[in-house]
Amino acid sequence: MSTTWLPCGVYHETYAQDHAWWQTRFIRGKMVLLAFILFAVIPFLADSYGLSVCNQIGYTILGALGVQLLIGFCGQITLGHAAFLAVGAYTSTLLILEFPWPQWMMQWGLAYPVSIFIAALVAGIWSVLFGLPSARVKGFYLILTTMAAQFITVDFIITQYVSQIGGRGQAFSLPPGTIKVGPWVIDSDLKVYFMMLALVIVCVIAVVNLLRSKAGRAWVAIRDNDISAAVMGINVVKYKLLAFFVAGAIGGIAGAFWISNLAAVSPEHFPWFWSLWLVGVILIGGVGSVHGAIFGSIFMVVIMEGLQLAVMPLADTFPKLLMDFLFIKEAAFGLSICVFMIFEPNGLAYRWWQGKNYFNLWPFSY
């Protein structure tokens, strides 16, 4: 599935051109417009609720990217990804609250950015630990081992031990002013939004580039047929574990971002349902495409919130609607997955690709 159709008369003369992300001036123009909307339009048009919905989307994208990489590109099914988000969040929180940073780092506002980086590493390594069984087992067995990651990490280690550090035994709340990036104290939805954009862009670029590299090719080979991949000389175990590492690291970044959004963290933020939710997101967005993780996140968050807003005017007449809304929401989650599996098994990303091609090829669709 080529990702771009070029207008007549555009030819590549070098490999670099052939592999470029944005191959024509028109596409570059579209991306500039997108950047303009993200950085200049939304922040100034949306109120705090709109921004918080955007941040929720960003958080979901960061979570879903790792799941997409594992399931969509490497074929390793995971149902415990929230565990790595939790590891990232707790690593970052503990580093900020308990670690004796040198004064100059505090002054320059480097503690939080550095903690994000370390959180990514720790979550990545933790993820590799639970990815080890993938060397031996596949499919259904692997699902169970990744679920074990969720319960061992969140329900046991974090709830029983990590959340007790400092005698708290409860939610860590980060005092105002502790989350600083350089000179900026992250204390408003707008600042969280810009941080979210930066992290999402960095992670998306990293994942897309990885997929264009040797590792990405190996992952896709393993996904399509691990035996053939091994025959071709790909070190299957190594690349599987690398996929787990990268997915865990992105999860860690997502978790570390989450604490800035709330200024508090507790084990209750990372339930097993969230792991399940992230898999739902990529199913709807489209498995095996970075676009899929983004579209799925937007769809899931916005549709759910939109449903709620649509219900509100009706609530005066039917007060039970608001009270029972969550059941409708849960049902909508399940229903949308079913509907997508039936009508659009390739997800929203495929629909997007088709839409673009329709315009690219018009009026001669060949």
Partner 1 sequence: MNAKKGWANVSIVVALMVLGLVFSPFAGAADIKIGALNDMTGATSDVGKDYALGIAEAIHYINDTGGINGRKIKLYQFDYGYRIPEALTKYNLFKRLKCAAILGWGTGDTEALAPTVAKDKIPYVSASYSGHLCKPEKTPYNLFFSTDYSTQSRGLITSWFDKKWPTKPDYGKRKPRIAMCYMFASPFSSSSIKAAKDQAEMLGFEIGPDQDVSLFAIDTKSQILSLKEFKPDVVLHTNTVMSVAATLRDAYALGLGADNLIKCWGFDENLPRLAGKAAEGAIGCAPWAFYGLDVPLMDKVMEYAKKYNPGIPQEKRTIHTVQAWANALGLAEALKRADKAGDLSGEGILKKGFETMRGYEIGLGIAPATYTPTDHRSQSEAKIYEYKNGEFVLIDAVDLKARWPEKWKNEWLGW
Q: Which stretch binds partner 1 (CB under 8 A): 130-138, 144-152, 194-202, 259-267?
A: 259-267
Q: How far is the CB of 157 from partner 1 (least distance, A)?
A: 11
State yes or no: residue 319 binds partner 1 (CB under 8 A).
yes
Interactions with partner 1, residue window 102-141 (CB under 8 A) = none
Q: Of the two residues 51 and 83, which places its CB atom closer to partner 1 in the complex?
A: 51
What span, in angstroms and rounded, lies between the C-alpha atoms of 6 and 216? 24
Q: Which of 30, 21, 15, 12 is nearest to 359 (CA)?
A: 30
- Residue 261 lies near partner 1 (rule: CB under 8 A): yes
Does position 97 bind partner 1 by CB under 8 A? no
DSSP 152: I
Considering only CA atoms, give the Rg of the chain.
21
**Cβ-Cβ contacts under 8 Å for 252 (sequence gap 6 or more):** 84, 85, 87, 88, 91, 119, 120, 121, 122, 123, 124
Site for partner 1 in 42-71 (CB under 8 A): 45-53, 56, 59
Single-letter code of the amino acid located at 173? S
Q: Which of 83, 115, 124, 189 binds partner 1 (CB under 8 A)?
A: 189
Place of tokens 């974090």: 158
The span from the CA of 145 to the CA of 133, in Å, is: 7
- Residue 22 or 156: which CB sits closer to partner 1? 156
Nearer residue to partner 1 within complex by CB, 187 or 337: 187
- Is 363 a binding residue for partner 1 by CB under 8 A? The answer is no
Q: Which of 135, 323, 335, 361 binds partner 1 (CB under 8 A)?
A: 323
Helix (H) or strand (E) holding 191: helix 189-212
Helix, strand, coil distribution of the chain in percent, nearest 5: 75, 0, 20
Residues at the contact surface with partner 1, assessed by CB under 8 A: 45-53, 56, 59, 159-160, 163-164, 169-171, 173-176, 187, 189, 261-264, 266-269, 271, 273-274, 302-303, 305-306, 308-310, 312, 319, 322-327, 330, 343, 351, 354-355
